[in-house]
């Protein structure tokens, strides 16, 4: 990846999305902002894909066969559509708009994600959060939360919040995570200015879904991620004429180095190689998904890709080429 498409304001790092085809039988393409060459994490958020609205009649929808994860938690947040999640902890759950689903992989999990037959449009974000080393081997877990929207600027104030994890402007989520974290959907009515009160110990990212918005005066394009460092007690968000819907992510800077390869987070090349071998060998580390029914040509489990011919490098907070 080259450094093109990256604008740098003094206080705001703007990460432009790149289109990534998800592969497999379906034609779904996502817009990815994390990890970026110049930045690996916002807080412990390490992966950000934004997609849709996709016409399922055209793309075929989502059909991701069982695949493994380690060392991270996944967050699925939808704006439109419905996805059936199945995992090797035995959880079967429907992911719906406005509902937080956080799956902790810990030492190893596998899961499938399939959009339901009723889904005509798919639109959402898929996010990963790194588990700190002390919690990287945690047991498999799944947390669900449907936040009630609040209006921190008053009923006519033009701000509507749904907090997935953490606390923002008086709304807090019961979802737990081993490092301090914030994730919220923010809707701004046309022309609204909101000074969002934030924790100065956190760094933040603003991912624009629809509409238009500036953050500290910097225009965030659709699907882009504007990143702000620690030391602020508020973020000034100004919506354009069409209003804005955005995801606000935050957390204390994540200072550990990790190796992120395919669906795995590990601490070293050798650890990731062992994860890959365990998945290929269908060992106990990842368990099995029951009841996955995919498309005719979809495999029952996604094989790991080949490793590159060089040792995988660790990456830190501010990124390293990949
Ligand atoms: Mn996954």
How many angstroms separate the alpha carbon of residue 239 from the centre of ligand 1? 32
Return the bridge partners of 207, or none: 225, 247
Cα gap 26→72, rounded to integer Å: 25
| Residue 5 confidence (pLDDT) above 50 | no
pLDDT of residue 281: 96
The length of the chain is: 322
CATH number of the domain that residue 24 is part of: 2.60.120.10
How many angstroms separate the alpha carbon of residue 238 from the centre of ligand 1? 34
DSSP conformational letter for 133 = G
How many angstroms separate the alpha carbon of residue 190 from the centre of ligand 1? 35
pLDDT tens figures, 160-201: 999 999 999 999 999 999 999 999 999 999 999 999 999 999
- Is residue 294 in a domain? no
- Is residue 169 in a domain? yes
Cα gap 155→159, rounded to integer Å: 8
The parent domain of residue 187 ranges over: 6-251
DSSP letters spanning 187-250: EE-TT-EEEEE--TT-EEEEEEEEEEEEETTEEEPTT-EEEE-S--SEEEEEEEEEEEEEEEEE
How many angstroms separate the alpha carbon of residue 153 from the centre of ligand 1? 36
- Is residue 270 in a domain? no
- Is residue 240 in a domain? yes
Cα gap 162→153, rounded to integer Å: 14
* pLDDT top residue among 22 and 259: 259
- Is residue 288 in a domain? no
- Is residue 287 in a domain? no
Q: pTM to 2 decimals? A: 0.94
Closest Cα to residue 100, out of 296, 247, 198?
247
Strand order, beta sheet including 100-104: 18-21, 29-34, 45-55, 121-130, 72-80, 100-104, 141-145
pLDDT of residue 23: 65
% of the chain beyond a pLDDT of 90: 84
How many angstroms separate the alpha carbon of residue 269 from the centre of ligand 1? 21
pLDDT (mean) for 90-98: 96
- Is residue 15 in a domain? yes
- Is residue 312 in a domain? no
With helix as H, strand as E and coil as C, how does 255-322 read? Answer: CCCEEEECCEEECCHHHHHHHHHHHHCCCCCCCCCCCCCCCCCCCCCCCCCCCCCCCCCCECCCCCCC
pLDDT (mean) for 77-98: 97
How many angstroms separate the alpha carbon of residue 156 from the centre of ligand 1? 39
Contacts of 176 (CB under 8 A, 6+ apart): 143
Number of domains in the chain: 1
Contacts of 320 (CB under 8 A, 6+ apart): 40, 313, 314
Contacts of 284 (CB under 8 A, 6+ apart): none
Average pLDDT of the residues of the chain: 93
Q: Scanning the structure block, which residue is given the tokens 């990731």?
A: 272
How many angstroms separate the alpha carbon of residue 27 from the centre of ligand 1? 17
């Amino acid at each position: 990846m080259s450094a093109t498409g990256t604008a740098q304001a003094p206080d705001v790092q703007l990460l432009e999305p790149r289109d990534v085809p998800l592969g497999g039988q379906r034609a779904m393409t996502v817009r990815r902002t994390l990890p970026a060459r110049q930045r690996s994490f916002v807080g412990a958020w390490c992966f950000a894909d934004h997609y849709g609205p996709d016409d399922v009649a055209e793309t075929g929808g989502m059909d991701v066969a069982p695949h493994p994860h380690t060392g991270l938690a996944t967050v699925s947040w939808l704006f439109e559509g419905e996805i059936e999640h199945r995992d090797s902890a035995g959880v079967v759950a429907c992911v719906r708009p406005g509902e937080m689903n956080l799956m902790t992989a810990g030492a190893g999990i596998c899961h499938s994600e399939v959009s339901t037959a009723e889904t005509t449009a798919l639109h959402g974000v898929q996010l990963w959060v790194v588990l700190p080393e002390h919690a990287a081997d945690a047991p498999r877990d799944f947390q669900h939360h449907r936040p009630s929207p609040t209006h921190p600027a008053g009923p006519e104030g033009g701000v509507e919040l749904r907090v997935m994890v953490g606390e923002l402007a008086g709304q807090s989520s019961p979802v737990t995570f081993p490092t301090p974290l914030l994730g919220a959907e923010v809707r701004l009515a046309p022309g609204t200015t909101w000074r969002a009160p934030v924790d100065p110990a956190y760094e933040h990212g603003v991912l624009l879904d629809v509409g238009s918005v500036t953050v500290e005066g910097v225009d965030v394009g659709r699907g882009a991620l504007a990143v702000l460092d620690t030391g602020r007690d508020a973020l000034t968000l100004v919506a354009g004429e069409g209003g804005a819907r955005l995801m606000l992510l935050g957390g204390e800077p994540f200072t550990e180095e990790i190796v992120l390869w395919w669906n795995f987070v590990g601490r070293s090349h050798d650890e990731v190689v062992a994860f890959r071998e365990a998945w290929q060998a269908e060992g106990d580390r990842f368990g099995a998904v029951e009841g996955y029914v995919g498309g005719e040509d979809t495999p029952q489990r996604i094989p790991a890709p080949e490793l590159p011919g060089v040792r995988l490098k660790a990456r830190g907070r501010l990124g390293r080429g990949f």
